[in-house]
Each structure stands twice: as C-alpha cells, then as structure tokens.
Amino acid sequence: MAGRSFGERLTAAVSARGPLCVGIDPHPALLEAWGLPVDVSGLERFALTATEALAGTVAVLKPQSAFFEAYGAAGIAVLERVLAMARQAGALVLLDVKRGDIGSTMAAYTAAYLADDAPLAADAITVSPYLGFGSLEPALKQARSTGRGVFVLARTSNPEGGTVQCSRGADGVTVAQSVVDSVAECNRGAEPLGDVGVVVGATVKPGELRLDAVNGPVLAPGLGAQGATAEDLRRVFGEGVRAVLPSSSRDILRHGPTPEALRSAVEAARESLVSILPQMSSS
C-alpha cells in the first residue's frame, strides 16, 4: 500500500467523516434481532447490509473477525467481501483480530493481515502485547513498510482485564501504562499522527493512564452497549489526548436492518461526539 501513512490517512478520514469507529459484529443475537437465520446466509446478509450502509459515511469500520471465523471458510469469504466493500466506499478498516504471538507465528499473522497482497489485508489490526511488547515487532515492521496501522491492547473495557493490566512492575508502573509508554516511543516524532495506536476502554477510571505522549490514535471501545457515554469520554480522556476514536458496535447495529436506520444511528452518535471531542471533529 503505497502513499500516505496510516496516521495521515486516519487523520484525513476523521477530519472528513467525524470521530467514530463502528464495529461490524455479526453476533448471533443481532442476526436474530434482524430476523435473519444464524448461519452463513444470515451472516452474509447482516455483514454486507451493515457495511454497505455505513462504509460511505464513517471514518473507520471495525469487523470483529471471530464472528466470521465461527462459520469457517464460508465466513472468512464473507469477511473478505466486507473488507473490499468498505475500502471501495472510502472507510478505513480496522480488523479486530487481537493477534499476539512470537517469532515466525507472529510473522505469519502479520503476513495474513498487513501484507499488500493478503486476501484479508486491512488498514489496521488489533494486537495483544501480553507475550511482551517486543513480540509485536514483526507487525510493527510490516505496518510501517506498507503504510498500515496497529492498535495495541493496553487497558481494555472488560472487567477481567484489570487483573493483568493494572498489575505493577518493580518500577511501580502498571502493565497497561508500560504498554502505552512503548507505543509512545514507537510514535515519537511522527506527523501528523503515529501509526501505532492503543486500545483503552471508555469505561476505565479517569486519570488511570497517562496518554498525552502517545502521539497516536486511542481506540476507545465501550461506547453504548457497554455503558460508556459521550460525556464519559471527556472524563476519561480529558483535553490532553489528540486522537480519541470512540468505538460503538451493538448500540449502532441494533437499529438495523434498514440502512436508513443504521445511518441515522451513526449520525446521532457522531453529533454527540463532536462537542465532546473537538480535536477530532469533522471540518
């Protein structure tokens, strides 16, 4: 992928379309709520309807790979179509795969999602640093060379995450803060924004992490169904974070199956964010 860096492309997309990432999560309960069968045909109808409705209006779409993988090869084929459709409509695709391994295995994951010729290549992916931040180097290197991005899990929105992420090392720094600091080092000096982001739930305690030096995007899941509101974003992230990218999935998707209703839900969510996150508002 020649041309601009991921940080440049994300900055431009958010400036044009506003600060919102929408998940494409074909959860069985959502398929049923849309009146669709919980099988590959229902998955296809759900995922393609949502993508077609939203890819032309949101900055970032975030398909959750697990919900496609659950249907085997046929589900992966649907995911490939989602990736292609989203790109054609101008949305950036953040593929939520949360991969994390070592050595040649991590390099293989990297080839699957970040190489230019990969069928599942996305604009960015989520990765887990909990085999050591250094284990992510194959993904970081590949992303730099192909103009893609990586979002590193730091402080996630699930309650169980704190057991590991809030633990402190011998230096007194939490595991989550050490991840944030490592990401900040990767992005040092990047303009207008680094290519390595962090994932920090919108439900975490205000002041729990120092994020002002990240110089990269902060993906903030938890908006809507997990209980976080637009006002919570102001409390958690304050004015010091340059690029908060709130993420909402079920709270948007539950308005389907009509494309008009999905787009209206996105517009309402986006309007609630513009006054909260002026640094990421549309121009």
User: Which residues are known to be catalytic?
Assistant: 98
Place of tokens 């305690």: 205
- Which one, of 229, 205, 93, lies nearest residue 155 by Cα? 205
String of DSSP letters for 214-256: --S-EEE--BSTTSB-HHHHHHHHTTT-S-EEEEESHHHHTT-
Q: Which of 164, 113, 169, 159 is nearest to 136 (CA)?
A: 113
Beta bridge partners of 215: none
3-class secondary-structure state, position 55: coil
The upper half-sphere exposure of residue 36, i.e. CA atoms within 13 Å in the direction of its Cβ, equals 23
- Give Rg (Cα) of the chain: 18
Backbone dihedral region for residue 239 (phi beyond 0: left; psi -120 to 50: alpha; all else: beta): alpha
Alpha helices in the chain (DSSP H): 6-17, 28-33, 40-54, 65-69, 72-88, 103-114, 137-146, 162-165, 175-186, 230-237, 250-253, 259-274
Residues 196, 67, 176, 217: what is their CA dihedral angle, to the nearest 10 degrees? 30
What letter would DSSP give residue 37? Answer: -
